[in-house]
């Protein structure tokens, strides 16, 4: 995804050709014609903007895979969570390179016990949401995935503390004390 004038892009096209991935092949192994992995997206800035939107979509896809993983892990019905996820890499509509990466992570650590549930945002999702707001484009899925990253950084969410306290105040719903929550937390 590059931006610039046609003349400027043409000058550096050999560099882009060297960097783009190999052309896809069909079932017989023949290369499919086209510019796989390359697009002259428009004027200066168009390549960067396109990549930003790409990364915002990536945030949402990772969030969806993570939520699916968590639900599979949460039920007693599924006995082989890594196997189920691996099965999705063949012939399903949700197969992708990101899913392949999740399979690899689960092969290395089947219960993800060595990974802390903390996800940084490197800016692209945030910028994508900011541009959506600036251009009045509804983007609830990408926005939710960005905010999920923010919540991953909290040990004990102040928002959820306020929600628990409010539920207790208006309906007498039980509130877990800090000591109780710590005692119930897995070691």
pLDDT single digits (tens) 55-105: 999 999 999 999 999 999 999 999 999 999 999 999 999 999 999 999 999
Contacts of 84 (CB under 8 A, 6+ apart): 72, 78
pLDDT band (50, 70, 90) for residue 18: confident
Q: How far apart are CA 8 and CA 4, in angstroms?
A: 6
CB 146 within 8 A of CB 126: yes
Q: What is the pLDDT of residues 100-117, one digit of tens each?
A: 999 999 999 999 999 989
Q: How far apart are CA 50 and CA 59, in angstroms?
A: 15
Q: Which residue of the set 51, 107, 108, 113 is catalytic?
A: 51
Annotated domain spans of the chain = 1-44, 45-151, 158-187
Q: How far apart are CA 181 and CA 77, in angstroms?
A: 27
Record: fold of 45-151: 1.10.1040
> Residue 8's pLDDT is what?
96
Buried/exposed code over 104-133 (b: 16+ C-beta within 10 A; e: otherwise):
ebbeeeeebeeeeeebebeebbbbbbeebe
Q: Full-prediction pTM beyond 0.85?
A: no
pLDDT band (50, 70, 90) for residue 48: very high
Alpha helices in 27-139, H assignment, sequence order? 46-74, 81-87, 97-108, 124-134
58 is catalytic: yes
Q: 21-30, 82-91, 109-118, 133-142: lowest mean pLDDT where?
A: 21-30
How far, rounded to the nearest angstrom, does the alpha carbon of residue 152 sit from its chain's CA centroid?
13
Read off φ and ψ for residue 12, nearest 5 degrees: -105, 10
Q: Which residue of the set 31, 58, 124, 130 is catalytic?
A: 58
Residue closest to 65 by CA, chosen among 106, 109, 124: 106
């Amino acid at each position: 995804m590059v931006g610039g004038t046609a003349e400027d892009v043409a000058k550096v096209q050999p560099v882009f050709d060297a960097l783009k991935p190999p052309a896809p092949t069909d079932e017989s192994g023949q290369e499919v014609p086209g510019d796989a992995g390359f697009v002259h997206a428009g004027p200066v800035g168009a390549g960067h903007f396109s990549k930003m939107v790409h990364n915002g979509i990536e945030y949402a896809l990772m969030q969806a895979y993570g939520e699916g993983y968590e639900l599979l892990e949460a039920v007693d019905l599924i006995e082989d969570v890594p196997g189920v996820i691996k099965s999705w890499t063949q012939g399903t509509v949700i197969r992708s390179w990101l899913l392949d990466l999740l399979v690899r992570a689960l092969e290395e650590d089947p219960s993800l016990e060595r990974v802390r549930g903390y996800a940084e945002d490197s800016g692209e999702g945030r910028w994508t949401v900011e541009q959506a707001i600036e251009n009045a484009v509804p983007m609830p899925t990408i926005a939710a995935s960005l905010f999920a990253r923010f919540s991953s950084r909290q040990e004990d969410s102040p928002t959820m503390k306020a929600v628990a306290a409010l539920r207790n105040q208006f309906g007498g719903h039980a509130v877990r004390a800090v000591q109780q929550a710590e005692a119930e937390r897995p070691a």
